[in-house]
Amino acid sequence: MKTEFVSVEIEKHIAVVEMHRPPVNALNLQFLEELLFVFDALAADEGARAVILTGHGNIFSAGGDLKDPMGGLDVAHDTHRLRVASEVFFRVLSCPKPTIAAINGPAIGGGLVLVASCDILIASENAFLALPEVAQGLLGGARHAMRFLGHSLTRRMILTGHRVSAAELYRRGAIEKCVPRDRLVAEAREIASEIATKDPSVLQLAKRALNDTEEMSLRDGYAYEEGLVVNCLAQMRKRARRTGAVANDDDA
């Protein structure tokens, strides 16, 4: 699968999604719509069990395209682009296939939000995260950043433009790995390969549990998970009955 700015290769149930809009993978409206299309397609593709999202070259994404300014046309244009961007981020977050961000370089503004929307994060040593919107008279990314960076660091980043290196992110436990650039995708593939060996239906329920319980209380979250466990057990019984039926047919 390939669009103008996004390519997808699926091998051994692992989909590698590479963003390629030189020079910095800036997110204009067309690019956002293409990402939306790609993640819709992957959600429905039974051949993909895990997804790796990365950028081409040494930049993950510099965020919104400053050459396509939000105020360039009118309020309706601004609102539409923001809505499409929001839909992309939540489509990545809600993708039924576990998603790994292989952060190959700077992830700035909307690029950071893409990172925050993924399930597992690893980064190359040249990568950093930043939210510089305030310096440009804009806002964005605060709530997504708080999900994995915490209260104080998120506020420092937004209020000062502070950049956080991959090494610092790893030290804080915000990402799983900090690796040399030439090892990044291979390391992401190792994690994706582990995921791809699991039952796809159970993976989807597990991701649903992770997403849906994030804002719940401990009691409500556990009760919700219990319902999903009942679903898993029902699926196991169905598989066992089917297997038994096949065995009986063979015996006959």
DSSP result, the chain: -B-SSEEEEEETTEEEEEE--TTTT-B-HHHHHHHHHHHHHHHH-TT-SEEEEEESTT-SB--B-TTS-TTSS-HHHHHHHHHHHHHHHHHHHH-SS-EEEEE-S-EETHHHHHHHTSSEEEEETT-EEE--GGGGT----HHHHHHHH-HHHHHHHHHH---EEHHHHHHTTSSSEEE-GGGHHHHHHHHHHHHHTS-HHHHHHHHHHHHHHTTS-HHHHHHHHHHHHHHHHHHHHHHHHHHHHHHHHHH-
Question: Are 173 and 207 members of one domain?
Answer: no
pLDDT of residue 71: 47
With a CB cutoff of 8 Å and minimum separation 6, the contacts of 166 are 103, 123, 124, 125, 126, 127, 128, 175, 178
Domain contains 1: no
Question: Are 96 and 216 members of one domain?
Answer: no
**Nearest-angstrom CA–CA distance, 142 and 113:** 9
Two structure tokens written together for 3 = 């669009």
Question: Are 159 and 225 members of one domain?
Answer: no
Catalytically annotated residue among 18, 34, 133, 187: 133
**Nearest-angstrom CA–CA distance, 36 and 14:** 19
pLDDT of residue 45: 96
Last-in-domain residue among 177, 196, 215? 196
pLDDT tens for the chain, residues 1 to 252: 899 999 999 999 999 999 999 999 999 999 999 999 999 999 999 999 999 999 999 999 999 887 775 545 578 877 888 899 999 999 999 999 999 999 999 999 999 999 999 999 999 999 999 999 888 888 889 999 999 999 999 999 999 999 999 999 999 999 999 999 999 999 999 999 999 999 999 999 999 999 999 999 999 999 999 999 998 998 888 888 888 765 555 554
Q: Which residue has the tokens 């997804």?
A: 51
SS (H, E, C) 85-105: HHHHHHHHHHCCCCEEEEECC
How many structural domains comprise the chain?
2
With a CB cutoff of 8 Å and minimum separation 6, the contacts of 41 are 1, 8
**Nearest-angstrom CA–CA distance, 134 and 232:** 46
pLDDT of residue 248: 57
**Nearest-angstrom CA–CA distance, 173 and 207:** 20
Question: Are 119 and 26 members of one domain?
Answer: yes
Predicted TM-score (pTM) of the model is 0.91
- Any catalytic annotation for residue 133? yes
Residues in the chain: 252
pLDDT of residue 246: 53
Q: Which residue has the tokens 């963003």?
A: 19
Question: Are 241 and 123 members of one domain?
Answer: no
Question: Are 235 and 114 members of one domain?
Answer: no
Question: Are 146 and 32 members of one domain?
Answer: yes
Question: Are 144 and 247 members of one domain?
Answer: no
One-letter amino acid for residue 189 of the chain:
R
Question: Are 100 and 116 members of one domain?
Answer: yes
CATH of the domain at 177: 3.90.226.10
Question: Are 118 and 209 members of one domain?
Answer: no
pLDDT of residue 249: 56
- Domain extent for 79: 6-196
pLDDT of residue 2: 92
Question: Are 112 and 231 members of one domain?
Answer: no
Question: Are 186 and 214 members of one domain?
Answer: no
Q: Which residue has the tokens 């998120």?
A: 154
pLDDT of residue 251: 57
